[in-house]
Amino acid sequence: MAQTNSKGLFVVGTGTDVGKTYITGLSVKALRTGDYNAGYYKAAVSGAPSIAASDAGYVKKVAQLEAPDDTLLSYLYDHAVSPHLAAKWEGNPVEQSVITAGFEAAKERYEYVTMEGSGGIMCPLRYDETEQIFLEDVIQWFRLPTLLVAHAGLGTINATVLTVEYLRARNIPVKGVILNYYTDSPMEQDNKAMIETLTGVPVIACVPEGANDLGVSAASLAALYDEV
């Protein structure tokens, strides 16, 4: 049955390998455990042999989603490079119409749709003589707020503040920050405090490596989503 008041949130990372997919899986899992009709969609994944072995497959497993694999992801590339380059090499460029159809289908299935990005905010999904599409374009198409995932360690102040400022300059809301690989060291405690002070964005969770949950209530997570 189609959802009449679907809500969405876009999960973006400060860069590659900050654990964005891991955090996304735990977020969707938390919502579903809290009896929210929550699901997942991602436009493009590169460097995976199948959907089941991709980021989308990981989230499906962690969050125990029952959706068919082909509803979770629109573009799957073999080469472990930026999607725009993989698309050039493999002759399968991203199309706005395909992503829009995938997102709309997720909205029909779920009340809370978590859309995961690829890499950092400047990741190009398509860049050729015909069209140029970046992550920020996808966020703007669907008017989604964002949740920012960052590594808790050294360098995160710079990466997080720059990403927040970039999003704000484009009028994209940032609802919160999650620090991943958190060890609670004095430096990481200071990183958290400085990120909140310099951006005014709350760090809603500090997640240790290997954690099975975010330590955030389902209701608190649900409050981050906007109607779309």
SS (H, E, C) 106-127: HHHHCCEEEEEEEEECCCEEEE
d(CA 204, CA 147): 10
pTM of the model as a whole: 0.95
Of the chain, the percentage scoring pLDDT greater than 70 comes to 98
Q: What's the whole-number mean pLDDT along residues 26-46? A: 97
Around Cβ 168, how many Cβ atoms within 10 Å?
Answer: 14
Return the active site residues.
Answer: 42
Around Cβ 60, how many Cβ atoms within 10 Å?
Answer: 24
Q: What is the pLDDT of residues 167-197, one digit of tens each?
A: 999 999 999 999 999 999 999 999 999 999 9
Whole-number pLDDT of residue 1? 45
When pLDDT is cut at 50, 70 and 90, the band that residue 5 belongs to is confident
Q: Are 183 and 177 in contact (CB under 8 A)?
A: no
Q: What is the pLDDT of residues 135-145, one digit of tens each?
A: 999 999 999 99
